[in-house]
Amino acid sequence: MNNALSGGRTLYMEQPNSEIVQCSQCGAKNRVPLYRTNEKAKCGKCGSLLNPAAGEDEKPYLLRCTECGARNKVPAGKTDKGPVCGVCKKPLRTEEIFKPQPVMVTEASFQKDVLGSPLPVLLFAWAPWCTTCRTFMPVIDGYAREVRGRVRVAKMNVDQTPNLASTYAIMSVPQIFVFDGGKLRENFPGAMQKNEIEMRMSRYL
Ligand SMILES: [Zn+2]
Ligand SMILES: [Zn+2]
């Protein structure tokens, strides 16, 4: 595993996406860029940590270089410091860590959002007419929130993606597909509970 970091370069200066976070200590509302919400953003008024869990969450992110495929470890506080791949020195796509999810996948976005993801991908194939799929959706949404920045969780409506459904021979829904490094690794037909999903995904983390 490569630990690639370089200071002094900030690739993503312009970050239009931000969210309002209320300080739990003084109640002041702070605008925080999305790429910092998992980090140690502080209240502008009283200086308290806006996300108290951020102090404990020092686990580095594991990002695959989308140029050469090497996996790189990026410390939680360095994601906005323009880290580059330890092998090929190309910039790591750290902005993808904070992309809101689940990501809705279309035939047009599949290449970029699934095959080109720097994170392992759990793809949930579903259809609007499938009752089991709809029942199962909250489990997927809950898992998506839990693993944001670690696993990309994506949803694909097979009615709207007939070519992909054919490519991956999707005969039944719901079905879970796992992609990593641009390749299909596993697929699991049927619904799964969250602890089973966590267990099956643990080998990709
Ligand atoms: Zn405050
Ligand atoms: Zn690389």
Q: What is the pLDDT at residue 38?
A: 58
- Torsion on CA atoms 51, 52, 56, 57, rounded to nearest 10: -20
Q: What is the pLDDT at residue 11?
A: 45
Quick one: 112 and 189 in the same domain? yes
Predicted confidence (pLDDT) per residue in 24-50, tens digit: 889 888 888 776 655 678 888 888 888
Ligand number with the minimum distance to the CA of 69: 2
Predicted confidence (pLDDT) per residue in 98-139, tens digit: 899 999 999 999 999 999 999 999 999 999 999 999 999 999
Segments forming the whole domain that contains residue 181: 99-204
Structural domains counted in the chain: 2
Say whether 133 is catalytic: yes
Choose one of 47, 81, 96: the last residue of a domain.
96
Predicted confidence (pLDDT) per residue in 59-106, tens digit: 899 999 999 999 999 998 889 899 999 999 999 999 999 899 999 999
Q: What is the CATH number of the domain that holds 159?
A: 3.40.30.10
Tokens of 76: 């939680």
Query: Is 5 domain-assigned?
Result: no
Say whether 130 is catalytic: yes
DSSP state, residue 172: S
Query: Is 10 domain-assigned?
Result: no
Quick one: 104 and 173 in the same domain? yes
Contact criterion met (CB below 8 Å) for 90 and 68: yes
Ligand 1 center–CA 31 separation, angstroms = 12
Quick one: 106 and 173 in the same domain? yes
Closest among 71, 149, 147, 144 to 102, alpha carbons compared: 144
Residue 105 has a CB neighbour count (10 Å cut-off) of: 24
The interface predicted TM-score (ipTM) is 0.54
Quick one: 104 and 169 in the same domain? yes
Quick one: 156 and 174 in the same domain? yes
Ligand 1 center–CA 30 separation, angstroms = 8
Tokens of 199: 């267990």
CA separation for the pair 40, 12 (Å, rounded):
18
Ligand 1 center–CA 118 separation, angstroms = 35
Quick one: 114 and 63 in the same domain? no
Choose one of 96, 131, 157: the last residue of a domain.
96
For residue 201, give Cα distances in angstroms to 103, 173, 192.
Answer: 17, 19, 12
Closest among 24, 19, 57 to 43, alpha carbons compared: 24
Choose one of 48, 72, 96: the last residue of a domain.
96
Ligand 2 center–CA 122 separation, angstroms = 22
